[in-house]
Amino acid sequence: MMHLDMRGKQCPIPVIETKHAMEAAGPGAEAKVLVDNEIAVQNLGKLAKKKGYRFEAKKEAEREYSVLLVWEDGSVQPQAEEETQAEECSVDARRRGTVVVLSSETMGEGSPELGAVLMKGFVYALAQQEVLPETVLLYNGGAKLSCEGAQTVEDLKSLEAQGVEILTCGTCLNYYGLTEHLAVGSVTNMYEIAQRMTEAGLLVKP
């Protein structure tokens, strides 16, 4: 079994290094990963789910968690070609690859109060579009928009109900003390944010 000490390493390093270690070892690999925050545990869980690894997490002490990942035989099943095609057909071709980035609580420069009103209006208008984005990414101050109490939560929930993926930066939630207050979508990491942005067919940043 591999032992990976990722304590003190910032997102997305724990996910990337664990991913590389598991792939280098191949089927049958087992890794015990030590991290020092709940966000890292969640991100490793997302990696396990995506790859089909068995996943176990345990809180060992204050700010110390152990995560077990096991690549069991047959745990990674590639999608059948027809399933992949069906998924692709279920998404409007005009919206596939469109990513909206929300990096602030406000929209534009000038008055913060006006900027907050504009951002609320933008998210509402986005949810009303006939052609929706595929993904909405929220980071830095934008992470607050998907948390409890934000006036944008209901519109983000509407987008999610219509099939739009809502992803909020875990490091940002942790920084603002909002880890337990995410109200819509799921937590992501900077590796995935960078991947979504660089692979986007159209990137929208109000």
What pLDDT shows up at residue 10? 80
The DSSP element (H or E) to which 102 belongs, if any, is: strand 98-102
The CATH number that applies at residue 194 is 3.40.1260.10
Domain total of the chain: 2
Domain termination residue (choose one: 70, 102, 117): 70
| Residue 154 forms part of a structural domain | yes
Residue 95 sits in the same domain as residue 57: no
Provide the domain limits for residue 57: 2-70
Same structural domain, 22 and 124: no
Which residue from 54, 84, 56, 69 is spatially nearest to 15, judged by alpha carbons? Answer: 69
The answer to whether residues 127 and 29 belong to one domain is no
Consecutive 10-residue averages of pLDDT for the chain (206 residues): 93 89 94 93 92 95 95 62 40 70 96 96 92 96 98 96 95 96 96 95 95
Q: Are 109 and 206 in contact (CB under 8 A)?
A: no
Within a domain: residue 59? yes
pLDDT for 130: 84
